[in-house]
Amino acid sequence: MVALLLAFGPGGTARADHGRGTEARGRIGIRLLEAPVAHDPRARIYIVDHVAPGTTIKRRIQVTSSSPIRRHIALYAAAADIKQGRFTFAAGSTANELTRWTSLDHSTLDLAPHGSAVAKVVIHVPPKASGGERYAVIWAQDTALPDPSHNISVIDRVGIRVYLSVGPDGEPPSDFQIGTVTSLRDQTGRPQLRVQVHNTGARALDMNGILSLSGGPDGLSTGPFPATTGVTLAPGDTAPITVLLNKQVPDGPWKARLTLASGLVQRTVTFTFTFPRSGVGNAVLADAHGPITLAMAGLAVMTFAAGVIILRRTRIRPSPGHAARAPRVR
């Protein structure tokens, strides 16, 4: 039996598996200590860069522990990808081209109680590397082995995403288009907007956004409402982004202002709509010639709410007497 928990949180911290009494074991966390100057603000959280073939980049990371006991941490790089609007990571230490370019100056760290340690990530891009963007995760992993009270082991891991673009020229463009906006109510009656977004650039996008409503019944205004986080678009991908509103929000009509962003790229649309009493309402086309107008504010950076993917498995038995527990990625 496998139990899986996926959550997001700032700073790379992870919660321990309550099934092993790991409240007493405390938490481990991981964070990036440095980023390129005047770069995509996501580079403060992830390793995000564009380099020419033959380039070597270095980043320092810090692994922390809130545990009252000593923790033995393994460090390694593993493969990742973007599928169906989500940043996904491969099982275990699965390799890809980017991980084969990546090394760490420490493969293990011994953390004292409530301690921390710093390691260096080195990525050497071969001189003949082909162009394009590649993805990986730098993992810090702690393993609790079986003991007289527990017949399974638990693997806990936290990670930092890597988005590395390779090419001989300057930074490839990042851009997106906002497509149709559909209003609907779910089965509980909660209103929401579903926004189709298409990545028209050459870099992956981590989408976030905010919606404000005005001109409602009796002149009401409400918001802002944040877009749900966790949507990552590979170049060429299209995926929906959802904005959830309060049940108390009336049907409308409303004048809406929706701003979506990834890094330094931002788009704003305005439109008028009415929520359906139930089910799915009409879709509005985000067209420069229609009721929605687009505006770009390249230097306005929205709060980026992505974070660590926290993922745990319990009662996994990859080999007799050994079970595993999990991950989390920044």
Give the fold, CATH level 3, of 176-262+265-296: Immunoglobulin-like (2.60.40)
pLDDT at position 229, please? 86
* Segment 41-75, tens digit of pLDDT: 888 899 999 999 999 999 999 999 888 888 899 99
Per CATH, 3-170+306-314 and 176-262+265-296 having the same topology is answered yes
Pick the CATH number of 3-170+306-314 from 1.10.3210.10, 2.60.40.10, 3.90.950.10, 3.60.21.10: 2.60.40.10
CA distance 25 to 69: 7
pLDDT at position 159, please? 95
* Segment 17-46, tens digit of pLDDT: 334 444 556 778 999 998 876 577 888 899
The domain locations on the chain are 3-170+306-314, 176-262+265-296
pLDDT at position 122, please? 97
Question: pTM of the full predicted structure?
Answer: 0.78
Q: What percent of the chain has pLDDT over 90?
A: 54
